[in-house]
Structures are given as structure tokens and as C-alpha cells.
A and B are shown apart, each in its own frame.
Chain A
């Protein structure tokens, strides 16, 4: 698959579990993003990495921990989540950060926290 890929596509976890979401982009982009998409809410930006450096952290709880080892890979480590964290988590990438380049989205990970 080309473009932006995400694994797993679906994840069910208990509140005491630790899991990780993975995102990979094959577009040669330098910026990567994590968004949370809940029902009846706009896309909420969680984290931004530009050239592997975190440039944005929108007051996200510490139970979400991002990691960007290189420009092509982005992880979201999850631990001790709450049921209200159940949502679709979307990864995106763009040529550069700053908000003025087109963002390309992955298919998302549908997360359910029991």
C-alpha cells in the first residue's frame, strides 16, 4: 500500500493495557501528525512532528506518548487509557509543517477502550 498506512486498523484494549499505534508514510514528507476523531467533534490535533522534532502538543494527557524515530514513521504509545479515549486515531503527513501544505491521511485505527 502506498501513501500513509496505519496499523492496527482496529484495537480493543482494557484500561490497564499498554499498546502502540503505528503510522508509516511513503511520500517523502517531513511532517507527521496524530489526530483524534470522535463522533460529533471536529478533528482534534494531538501531536505534530516536523523533521522528527515535536512542534506541537495540544494539551494531550500524558497517557498518550508519541514517538517519531525518523521522518517516515510515527508511533502513539497508549497506557492506562479511559473509555472516553475510544475514537478513530488518524495519522497524516505533509511535505512540511506550518499548516500550509496538503495533509494526507492514513486509514485510521479504530480504538475501543473497555
Chain B
């Protein structure tokens, strides 16, 4: 079936470093790719999304890149801060199912 692979499952960086999380998807018709951040004990919250008509989108320290040919997209966080520590989920719209499919999540730890 359609799926989304997310790597790495855990990521530890020093404060101020950059963090990159990568996802691949299987449905070539996917056209919407959101990223969610879930802090411990809280709900997933959208932090950035990208649609297939653009290759990159930036919002302050967060950016997402999309490579439709290779069917992968990535989240980039620059100048990481301890409050960036959370689990990050990628997702892709699946035309065959008409819904979002989520990756397994990446637990990011930013050490002060």
C-alpha cells in the first residue's frame, strides 16, 4: 500500500546546529506535504507545509524542500534551540486514499 518513510527516528543536535529530517513517499500523485511538531503531552501542530507546485518554502528558521522526481521532501531547522525539542511528523496526501499518510516521526533533542 501507499506509505511514507521518515528518517532518522531520533536526532540529537547541539543548540545552534542545524537539523534535517527526510521523508520519502510512494504515491506519485501526492501533492500536499505538511510537517507537524508534537511536544511531549501535547497535540500535533502544523509548523510548515508545501504543495507540489513549489520546490522550497521557508518560514524563519524552518524550511521544507520537495523533490517530486525523487519523491522525497525534507524539513530543515537552522539555529536550533532547546524549545525545538519534540517529535516531528511528515505527511503526504494520498490520492488513492484521499487522505494524509503520516511518517513514523523523528524525536529531535536539542542539547543546550
Contacts and interface: CB of A to CB of B under 8 A. Distances in A.
Interface string B78-108: 0000000000010001110111111111000
A42 B102 contact: yes
Interface residues of B, number: 25
A11 B72 CA distance: 38
Interface string A41-54: 11101001000000
Contacts, number: 57
Interface string B36-58: 10000011111001010000000
B43 A108 contact: yes
Interface of A is mostly: loop
Interface of A: 4, 33, 40-43, 45, 48, 55-56, 90, 97-100, 102-108
Interface of B: 4, 31-32, 34, 36, 42-46, 49, 51, 89, 93-95, 97-105
